[in-house]
Amino acid sequence: MFFDSFLGWFSLDMGIDLGTCNTLVCVRGQGIVLNEPSVVAVRKGTNIVLNNGNAVGLMAKEMLGKTPGSITAIRPLKDGVISDFEITEAMLTYFIRRVHGRRTLVRPRVLIAIPSGITAVEKQAVFQSALQAEARKVYLVEEPMAAAIGAGLPITEATGNMIVDIGGGTTEVAIISLADMAVSESIRTAGDNFDEAIVNHMKKTYNLMVGEQFAERIKIDIGSAAAVGPEVTMEVRGRDMISGLPRKCVVTSEEIREALQEPIGKIIDAITHTLERAEPELAADLVETGIMLAGGGSLLRGIDKVIHQATGLPVRIAEDPLTCVARGTSVFLENLESWKDSVAVHSDAEES
Given the rule CB under 5 A, which residues bind Mg ion? 19, 167, 325
- Given the rule CB under 6 A, which of 25-33, 49-57, 297-305, 330-338 is the region that contacts ligand ADP? 297-305
Cα 184 from Cα 182, distance rounded (Å): 7
Q: DSSP assignment, residue 56?
A: B
168 interacts with ligand ADP by CB under 6 A = yes
DSSP 321-341: GGGHHHHHHHHHHHTHHHHTT
Residue 167 or 238: the one with the smaller Cβ distance to Mg ion is 167
At 257, which helix (H) or strand (E)?
helix 253-259
Q: Which of 191, 238, 302, 328 binds ligand ADP (CB under 6 A)?
A: 191
* Least distance to Mg ion, CB of residue 190, Å: 9
Binding mask 126-165 for ligand ADP (x = CB under 6 A): ----------------------------------------
Cβ-proximal residues to 282 (8 Å cutoff; 6+ apart), any chain: 160, 175, 177, 182, 183
* Least distance to Mg ion, CB of residue 313, Å: 22
Q: Is 294 exposed, middle or buried (0-12, 13-18, 19+ CB in 10 A)?
A: buried
Residue 147 or 286: the one with the smaller Cβ distance to Mg ion is 147
Residue 170 or 253: the one with the smaller Cβ distance to Mg ion is 170
- Given the rule CB under 6 A, which of 133-141, 173-181, 294-302, 309-317 is the region that contacts ligand ADP? 294-302
DSSP 174-207: EEEETTEEEEEEEES-SHHHHHHHHHHHHHHHH-
Q: Which of 106, 209, 220, 283 binds ligand ADP (CB under 6 A)?
A: 220
**Which of the listed partners (ligand ADP, Mg ion, none) does 296 bind, with a CB threshold of 5 to 8 Å by partner kind?**
ligand ADP
Q: Which residue type sits at 245?
A: L
Q: Which of 75, 201, 219, 257 binds ligand ADP (CB under 6 A)?
A: 219
Binding mask 109-128 for ligand ADP (x = CB under 6 A): --------------------
Angle at 334 between CA 331 and CA 338, to 5 degrees: 110
Cα 120 from Cα 130, distance rounded (Å): 15
Residue 22 or 93: the one with the smaller Cβ distance to ligand ADP is 22
Cβ atoms of 193 and 170 closer than 8 Å: no
| Contact footprint for ligand ADP (CB under 6 A) | 19-22, 167-169, 191-192, 216, 219-220, 295-297, 299-300, 322
